[in-house]
């Protein structure tokens, strides 16, 4: 322990003495020099201290200073910029010394841009939008990066402006076109292409909800024909011819329009139960479209039908005393309008007085009624139904027959077998004629067997036949009568209980007025008594020597026959003919004719060429 303490004391004394140095020698020149910890202190040839620096450092004032390294631009040296865009070039500069850096761009005018220096070695050079050049244009930038020591890095950036396809521009879409629904339409779609040079543009149809099939030409002409009323859209597409084609779309709205038709219906009116009624309506279209007039089933309660512009119906017993509605629709296929007419139906209370006459009353040389003799006789007898033979009047036109019928029965309800037959048979009716026609008389070729369905008020109608049978042989009269009998039997079977039947006219004899003729199977009642004149004469030819003319009813109608009565125009007693009248003006004075049979003249039946006398029968239908 004593020895240890002794040695420690010696060590302390040694250290205090300067590690044993000779205090008489000069000091160390590197004492206290660290060379910034990037080198070591050495003495130079003169013994002075110097720093031997690490690689990358140099000595300044016994300090190792890091060597300055020029900054480095690391951003791209070449650019491809699409035309017509604003482009940002991001500049990056690094400095291994960590110096502050400053950015600059030379040659700005070439690319016409603006530099933003962020102060941290980065910056943005923004230029454009570049112009449309079809590509192939270039510019150059000289980018300089300077550090705090003035060291610079320089980079030339080449900029290539490349072609970029632009979307076509619509010029007149969206658009709207209106036209009539049956018309053809056209629309020229237009667009431009902003590229230089401009691309070729082609049009097509992208989609549509239209019912028609449009045609879209490549040049943009759109054509179509509307097929119905609608508003629809055509989505049109235009496509450019760029390397990567671009397109634009626009909508063409098409309005295929229609003006509704116009209907005019009769005002409220009246009708009689059992009597066919005709109402006239009009249906027109302002656009000139074809129109159709129909019964409107939703509104119609009269139960009519449409024929041309006429609504026709026969009021039923159930409708009598009430009202019904005639319903009309007028349609042009696109729009339908409705019209109604209220009809007050008068109930049938019966009975009906029905006067039927037959007469071959032509005079003169041409078998016609132009001279007025037969016309006055027919007017004087005031018929409801006239079965007329040799019905030639003036030119036998519709207007002529309208006037003839109007003068005799007060209506234009008439029928004729054929106006161009030499001796046509005719029927004139106070009541409407439902239908008419004729059957062939196999014994003749200048007239036929005329029939007409007559619409009477009440529950039954009348089927009338007007004939002018062959004179000889007499068997021809029977032949023709059997044609009529068989046709009536078939008609009666087809319409049981609906019609009463009457045949009348010039039979040219009595052969057909028999059980073998019109009386076959009891179809017509042929039994006497027959009409006579004031003198009891049954004959009807002009000399009053032959019985040629008849009015024959079926058994049901015969049972309804009543005396023929003529009223005095002066209030005197009536003239009554129990079995009907053969009318011969020669048997009356003019005074009696004026009182009971105006406008007949005593000379009418005696006129030159007068054929026969008229037959008159009256019936009372319940």
pLDDT of residue 387: 98
- At 135, the pLDDT band (50, 70, 90 cuts) reads low
pLDDT digits (tens, 9 = 90+) for 467-483: 999 999 999 999 999 99
Window from 86-100, 328-342, 540-554 with minimum mean pLDDT: 86-100
Mean pLDDT, range 388-393, rounded to an integer: 96
Angle (deg, nearest 10), helices 398-409 and 373-381:
40
What is the structure's pLDDT at 593? 97
Residue 405 has pLDDT above 60, yes or no: yes
- Distance, in Å, from the CA atom of 580 to the CA atom of 617, rounded to the nearest integer, reads 5
Question: In the predicted model, is pLDDT for residue 283 greater than 60?
Answer: yes
The answer to whether the beta carbons of residues 291 and 337 sit under 8 Å apart is no
Helix or strand run (H / E) with residue 403:
helix 398-409
Average the pLDDT over 376-389 and give the result. 98
pLDDT of residue 400: 96
Above 50 in pLDDT, residue 21?
Answer: no
Whole-angstrom distance, CA of residue 508 vs CA of residue 521: 22
What does the pLDDT read at residue 569?
94
The β-bridge relationship of strands 202-208 and 215-216 is: unpaired
State the pLDDT confidence band at 16, using cuts at 50, 70 and 90: very low
pLDDT of residue 274: 87
Q: Reading across the β-sheet that carries 137-147, which strands appear in turn?
A: 78-82, 152-162, 137-147, 101-106
pLDDT at 8 over 70: no
Note the maximum CA span of the chain.
Answer: 208
Task: Give pLDDT tens digits for 157-200.
Answer: 888 887 778 899 999 999 999 999 999 999 999 999 988 889 99
Residue 110: the pLDDT is 60
Tell me what pLDDT residue 132 has.
Answer: 60
- Class for domain 262-346, per CATH? mainly beta
Residue 447 φ then ψ, to 5°: -170, 165
The per-residue pLDDT for 588 is 97
Q: Provide the CATH number for the domain formed by 72-162 in this structure.
A: 2.60.40.10
Q: Point out the least confidently predicted range of 125-134, 407-416, 426-435.
A: 125-134
Per-residue model confidence (pLDDT) at position 136: 61
Higher-scoring residue by pLDDT: 342, 69: 342
Q: How far apart are CA 259 and CA 82, in angstroms?
A: 56
Report the pLDDT averaged over residues 325-344.
Answer: 96
Q: CA dihedral in degrees (356, 360, 364, 366; nearest 10)?
A: 120
- What CATH superfamily classification does 352-621 receive? Endonuclease/exonuclease/phosphatase (3.60.10.10)
What is the pLDDT, as a whole number, of residue 22? 42
Q: What is the pLDDT averaged over residues 585-611?
A: 97
- In the chain, where are the structural domains located? 33-67, 72-162, 169-257, 262-346, 352-621
Return d(Cα 528, Cα 243) in angstroms, integer: 110
State the pTM of this model: 0.61
Is 454's pLDDT higher than 80?
yes
Q: Kindly tell me if the per-residue pLDDT of 12 is higher than 80.
A: no
CATH, domain 169-257, list 1.25.40.10, 2.40.128.110, 3.20.20.150, 2.60.40.60: 2.60.40.60
Read off the pLDDT of residues 217-263 as tens digits, 9 standing for 90 and up.
999 999 999 999 999 999 999 999 988 899 999 999 999 999 999 99
Same fold, 72-162 and 262-346: yes
**With 60 as the cut, is the pLDDT of residue 10 above it?**
no
Question: What average pLDDT does the structure give for the chain?
Answer: 91
Q: Virtual CA dihedral for 537, 538, 544, 548, nearest 10 degrees?
A: 180
For 57-92, how does the pLDDT look when each residue is reduced to its tens digit (9 = 90+)? Answer: 888 888 998 888 889 999 988 888 887 788 899 999
Among 23-27, 110-114, 124-128, 354-358, the range of highest mean pLDDT: 354-358
284: its two tokens: 């027109």
Does residue 67 or residue 501 have the better pLDDT? 501
Mean pLDDT, residues 595-603 taken together: 98
Q: What's the order of all strands across the beta sheet hosting 230-239?
A: 175-180, 247-257, 230-239, 202-208
pLDDT of residue 25: 46
Banded pLDDT at 456 (limits 50, 70, 90): very high
Tell me phi and psi for residue 480, to 5 degrees. -65, -40
SS3 content of the chain, % helix, strand, coil (to 5): 15, 40, 50
Residue 4 has pLDDT above 70, yes or no: no
What is the C-alpha to C-alpha distance for residues 455 and 499, in angstroms, rounded to an integer?
9
Q: What is the C-alpha separation between 607 and 388, in angstroms, rounded?
A: 18
Look at residue 164 in the predicted model and tell me its pLDDT.
79
């Amino acid at each position: 322990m004593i020895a240890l303490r002794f040695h420690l004391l010696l060590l302390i004394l040694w250290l205090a003495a300067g590690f044993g140095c000779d205090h008489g020698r000069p000091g160390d020149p590197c004492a206290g020099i660290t060379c910034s910890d990037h080198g070591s202190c050495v003495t130079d040839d003169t013994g002075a201290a110097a720093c031997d620096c690490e690689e990358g450092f140099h000595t300044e004032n016994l300090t190792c200073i890091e060597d300055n390294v020029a900054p480095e631009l690391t951003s791209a040296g070449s650019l491809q910029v699409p035309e017509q865009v604003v482009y940002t070039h991001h500049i990056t500069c690094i400095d291994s010394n960590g110096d502050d850096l400053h950015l600059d761009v030379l040659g700005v005018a070439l690319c016409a841009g603006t530099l933003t220096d962020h102060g941290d070695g980065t910056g943005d050079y923004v230029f454009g939008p570049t112009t449309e050049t079809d590509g192939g244009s270039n510019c150059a930038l000289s980018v300089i990066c300077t550090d705090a020591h003035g060291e610079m890095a320089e980079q030339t950036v080449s900029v290539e402006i490349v072609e970029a396809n632009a979307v076509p521009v619509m010029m007149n879409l969206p658009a709207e076109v209106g036209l009539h629904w049956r018309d053809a339409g056209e629309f020229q779609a237009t667009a431009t292409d902003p590229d230089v040079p401009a691309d070729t543009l082609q049009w097509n149809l992208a989609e549509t909800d239209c019912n028609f099939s449009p045609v879209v030409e490549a040049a943009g002409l759109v054509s179509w024909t509307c097929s119905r009323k609608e508003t629809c859209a055509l989505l049109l597409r235009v496509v450019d011819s760029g390397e990567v084609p671009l397109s634009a779309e626009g909508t063409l709205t098409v309005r295929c329009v229609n003006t509704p038709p116009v209907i005019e219906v009769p005002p409220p009116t009246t009708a009689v139960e059992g009597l066919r009624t005709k109402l006239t309506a009009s249906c027109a279209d302002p656009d000139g479209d074809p129109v159709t007039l129909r019964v409107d089933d939703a509104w119609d309660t009269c139960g009519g039908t449409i024929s041309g512009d006429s609504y026709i119906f026969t009021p039923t017993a159930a409708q009598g005393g009430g009202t019904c509605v005639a319903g009309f629709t007028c349609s042009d296929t696109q729009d339908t309008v409705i019209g109604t007419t209220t009809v007050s139906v008068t109930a049938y209370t019966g009975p009906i007085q029905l006067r039927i006459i037959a007469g071959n009353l032509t005079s003169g040389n041409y078998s016609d009624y132009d001279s007025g003799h037969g016309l006055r006789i027919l007017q004087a007898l005031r018929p409801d139904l006239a079965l007329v033979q040799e019905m030639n009047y003036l030119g036998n036109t519709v207007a002529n027959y309208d006037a003839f019928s109007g003068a005799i029965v007060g209506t234009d309800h008439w029928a004729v077998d054929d106006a161009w037959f030499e001796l046509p048979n005719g029927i004139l009716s106070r009541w409407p004629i439902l239908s008419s026609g004729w059957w062939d008389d196999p014994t003749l070729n200048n007239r036929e067997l005329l029939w007409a369905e007559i619409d009477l008020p009440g529950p039954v109608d009348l089927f009338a036949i007007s004939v002018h049978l062959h004179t000889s042989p007499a068997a021809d009269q029977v032949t023709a009568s059997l044609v009529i009998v068989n046709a009536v039997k078939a008609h009666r079977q087809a319409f049981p209980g609906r019609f009463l039947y009457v045949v009348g006219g010039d039979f040219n004899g009595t052969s057909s007025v028999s059980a073998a003729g019109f009386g076959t199977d009891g179809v017509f009642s042929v039994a006497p008594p027959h009409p006579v004149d004031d003198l009891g004469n049954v004959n009807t030819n002009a000399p009053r020597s032959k019985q040629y003319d008849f009015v024959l009813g079926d058994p049901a109608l015969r049972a309804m026959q009543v005396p023929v009565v003529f009223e005095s125009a002066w209030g005197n007693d009536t003239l009554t003919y129990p079995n009907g009248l053969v009318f011969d003006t020669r048997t009356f004075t003019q005074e009696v004719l004026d009182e009971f049979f105006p406008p007949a003249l005593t000379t009418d039946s005696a006129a030159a060429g007068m054929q026969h006398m008229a037959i008159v029968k009256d019936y009372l239908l319940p």
